[in-house]
Each structure stands twice: as C-alpha cells, then as structure tokens.
Amino acid sequence: EAQVTQNPRYLITVTGKKLTVTCSQNMNHEYMSWYRQDPGLGLRQIYYSMNVEVTDKGDVPEGYKVSRKEKRNFPLILESPSPNQTSLYFCASTPTGGTYEQYFGPGTRLTVT
C-alpha cells in the first residue's frame, strides 16, 4: 500500500530533550516536506527536500533540522525542543515533474512541557 508513515504519532516531552520524528514513504517520491499546524494558522512549511541531500528552509525553520540521506526517509530533528514547538506535525511527499499533488502522513502530535 502506498503510504507516508510518521513515528511517533504522539509524543510528550520536556524542554531541551532532543527528539526525532521519522517520516518514510514507499512511493519513490522525490519531494518531501514537513509542516506544522497550529490553531488559527494554516499549515506552515518547516523544511522541504527536492531530492537526496537537497534540503531547503520553509517559512518556519527555526529550531528544526532535517536530513535526506535516503530518498524514502526525511526525519525532523528538534535539537532542543521548547514549548512553542508544541504542535501537530505533518510529513508529506510528492512526485516531481507532475502536479506536485502531496500525500500526507498521519500526523504527529507533539507536546513540549
């Protein structure tokens, strides 16, 4: 089944404790992206990647890191999480060269206390 998976789905952590949210897709898509969703705000792009070893900042990259060592994986790293990073996070992937229709993962609900 074609899908985007994210882990963990829910996470409660404390300020300053490094964490990684994994994202994996099995559709051989070149483009992958991370978003955060906060009440009253639209989905905001954190980072995106056009292909392996190519990453770019989105609108809200501060406090986040990403890597794209393999085509299928695009982990989101919070080196020192803070309460303002409490949010719902979505990973998405899309094939390039076509319509760029995005396929979203199930979301990760992160709470930083």
Residues that bind another protein (CB under 8 A): 31, 33, 35, 40-45, 48, 50, 56, 58-59, 90, 99-107
* Least gap, CB of 56 to another protein (angstroms): 7
Residue 105 burial class via C-beta count within 10 angstroms: exposed 0-12, middle 13-18, buried 19 and up: buried
Select 53 or 56, whichever has its Cβ closest to another protein. Answer: 56
* Least gap, CB of 100 to another protein (angstroms): 6
* Least gap, CB of 58 to another protein (angstroms): 6
Select 8 or 106, whichever has its Cβ closest to another protein. Answer: 106
